[in-house]
Amino acid sequence: MRLINLFFLLIFSQSILALNLNPWAQQSKIFSIMLDPAGDAKTPGRVIDDTFERGVTLQFAESLKKELESRYPQIRVVLSRFAGESLEPLQNASFANRLEVDLFLNINLFFKKDDVSKIFLYQFVSNPVTDFWQKDWSELCFQPYDQAHLKNINVTKNWGQKFRLSLEKESRNQRFVFKGFYGLPFKPLVGILAPALALEIGISKQKGWQDYVSVVCNSLHPIIFEALL
């Protein structure tokens, strides 16, 4: 009997240790991300190698979704569009707001002749001074769509800085240069209530995006960690 008790105690201890080593296993909260690949059926985007931006960004987003969900059990990733879909103005913003996602990430790719890529990070800012003034946000009042970003602008800036630091760290071991984190009136981010960021990545060939799926996934870790723990 004593040996049986010791056996079950050992199994229980190993289970507790496994939970401690995997903090995600203890989480009950779900963190939702909307990935927004640039382009649609009507907007092919920029030429990359012998194809268009819309197809390459969708492939990137699909691979990033798979990587994120396999690495973090408490994450749910939604794509803003599918192949062949045509989008109306502000459709993605309306979709993100209706789902109440926790993070919106717009993805853009462009062609570069040289092998050393460049990565840019953006958040929506219409006025770099007044946008960050303290404002009262009421859910009971109608808000102009071009001021939706004000609701979570400080959270967006905080997460953007974490993303920036992670990308800078990743750039030391990868063949890309991180060019900075900028606040701009970036059209793909207008009208979104959730913290919203945009990536622009330069690649030298059609499949070049494959080198950056893990880079982006790794760089999102501090944001996910802060949101879930």
Q: How many domains is the chain partitioned into structurally?
A: 1
Is a pLDDT exceeding 80 seen at residue 219?
yes
Which of 14-18, 22-26, 75-79 is predicted with the least confidence, judged by mean pLDDT? 14-18
CA distances from 103 to 67, 110, 111, 201, 219 (A): 16, 23, 27, 19, 14
6 pLDDT more than 50:
no
Over the stretch 45-72, which tens digit does the pLDDT of each residue have?
899 988 999 999 999 999 999 999 999 9
In a domain, 2, yes or no: no
140 located within any domain: yes
Whichever domain contains 99, its CATH number is 3.40.630.40
pLDDT tens across 121-150, in order?
A: 999 999 988 888 867 666 656 677 888 899
Q: Is residue 77 part of a domain?
A: yes
Torsion of CA 168, 173, 177, 182, to 10 degrees: -20
What is the average pLDDT score of the chain? Answer: 86
| Burial degree of 63 (CB within 10 A; 0-12, 13-18, 19+) | middle
Looking at the domain assignment, is residue 10 inside a domain?
Answer: no
Residue 168 lies in a domain: yes
Question: pTM of the prediction?
Answer: 0.85
How many CA atoms, within 13 angstroms, populate the side-chain half-sphere of residue 179? Answer: 12
Report yes or no on 56 lying in a domain: yes
Q: φ and ψ at 44, to 5 degrees?
A: -70, -25
Domain extent at residue 149: 29-228
- Examine residue 58 and state whether it is found in any structural domain, yes or no: yes
Convert the pLDDT of each residue in 74-91 to its tens digit: 999 999 998 878 888 889
Cα 74 to chain centroid distance, Å, stands at: 15
Instruction: Assess if residue 14 is contained within a domain.
Output: no
